[in-house]
Amino acid sequence: MKMKKKLLKIIGAIVIGIVLLTVLVLLGFKLVDYVRHHDFYANAKPAFAMPGVGDDFVQQGFDYIPEEGIFLAAGYMNDGTASRVYVLYPDGTITYTALKKADGSDYKGHTGGIAHFGHSIYITGSDGIDVFSYDEILSGTESTKMLTTVATFNDPAYCYVQNGYLLSGAFYREGSHETAAYEHMITPAGDQHRSIITVFKLEAWLVHGIGPTPVAVISTPDHVQGMCITEDGRVILSTSYGLSTSKLMVYDPTKIASSTVSFAGTTEGGEIFDFGTLPVYYLDSSSLVKIVKAPPMAEEMVWLEGKVYILNESASSKYIFGNITSGRKVYAYALDEK
């Protein structure tokens, strides 16, 4: 009997020890995250729950529709089912739409970026911008079919609409996410860039809004996951990969260098193109005025009322660790607060 009690005490002590150790590890993880990203947390507050946490949804694209007062969050499903667009309403209601290809099969694209214009929702696909119906996605329809794909002459990872233009940007990481040779540039500041944003004019009279050819190119650094632009024209890029600290990189529009480039080449799909000479703008070290270190896995962003709202995939079922830190919330970072 004594031996049994002694054994139970030992087991109990071990269980308590494991629990305490787990708590200490979790607290340590949160402390390291807070210290590592102190400047971010000092000016950022949780705005609302991260959409899709617990649904096998991997958060990627983020957009805001001011006329409706709603956020859109796009992403793929970790369980291999159809990619989704979540609609977040001001009253806290959340709906989602599963995406389909034009033939009715499941759309399983990476859905890295999302933007809107007119009657169209733009989502980045492997071959360019995939177009979906604005009305169907907002109506809460169970699923909606892709209407068409518009080539962007890069492998887009994010997209953004500003002042009548669609900006479609590529992600570069050496070895795992290579880009075409025509995206590689040495900037006026001497920086090595290997990804570009292609810029298209948007016209309401066009069927899906997007002009047929690029009108400009923007040269960008590595690891860009998203962008937004402030009212005064500052460009903010989010860069991240894996568990490394994300960065919000802020560029002064008055310092952005430009030139012209002969925009021609062959896409990864073998398509040959030549759009002649286009203006190119360089988001390089000469115009970089601020870097904010943010929690890992920052994706697309929304600029709203002086704050950067950041979608983050760290709390998704694919990674989990964001549940320990800040990943379960969309944070709003006040760019100009000290």
Do the beta carbons of residue 123 and residue 113 sit within 8 Å? yes
Query: For residue 311, how many other CB atoms are within 10 A of its CB?
Result: 27
Cβ pair 170, 197 in contact under 8 A: yes
| Residues sharing a CB contact under 8 Å with residue 65, sequence separation 6 or more, in sequence order | 71, 72, 116
Tell me if 239 sits within 8 A of 225, measured CB to CB. Answer: yes
Dist. CA 49–CA 86, nearest whole Å: 12
Amino acid at 222: D
Token couple for 270: 């073998």
Q: What is the number of other CB atoms lying within 10 angstroms of the CB of residue 264?
A: 14
Nearest to 45 by CA among 298, 299, 321, 308: 308
Per-residue pLDDT of the chain (338 residues; tens, 9 = 90+): 556 556 556 565 555 545 444 344 444 445 556 678 888 999 999 999 999 998 999 999 999 999 999 999 999 999 999 999 999 999 999 999 999 999 999 999 889 999 999 999 999 998 899 999 999 999 878 889 999 999 999 999 999 999 999 999 999 999 989 999 999 999 999 999 999 999 999 999 999 999 999 999 999 999 999 999 999 999 999 999 988 899 999 999 999 999 999 999 988 778 899 999 999 999 999 999 999 999 999 999 999 999 999 999 988 888 877 777 788 999 999 998 75
Predicted structure pTM score: 0.91
What pLDDT does 8 receive?
Answer: 53
Residue 129's contacts (CB-CB under 8 Å, 6 or more residues apart) are 122, 123, 149, 150, 152, 156, 159, 166, 168, 210
pLDDT of residue 70: 97
Task: Identify the helix (H) or strand (E) that includes residue 279.
Answer: strand 272-282
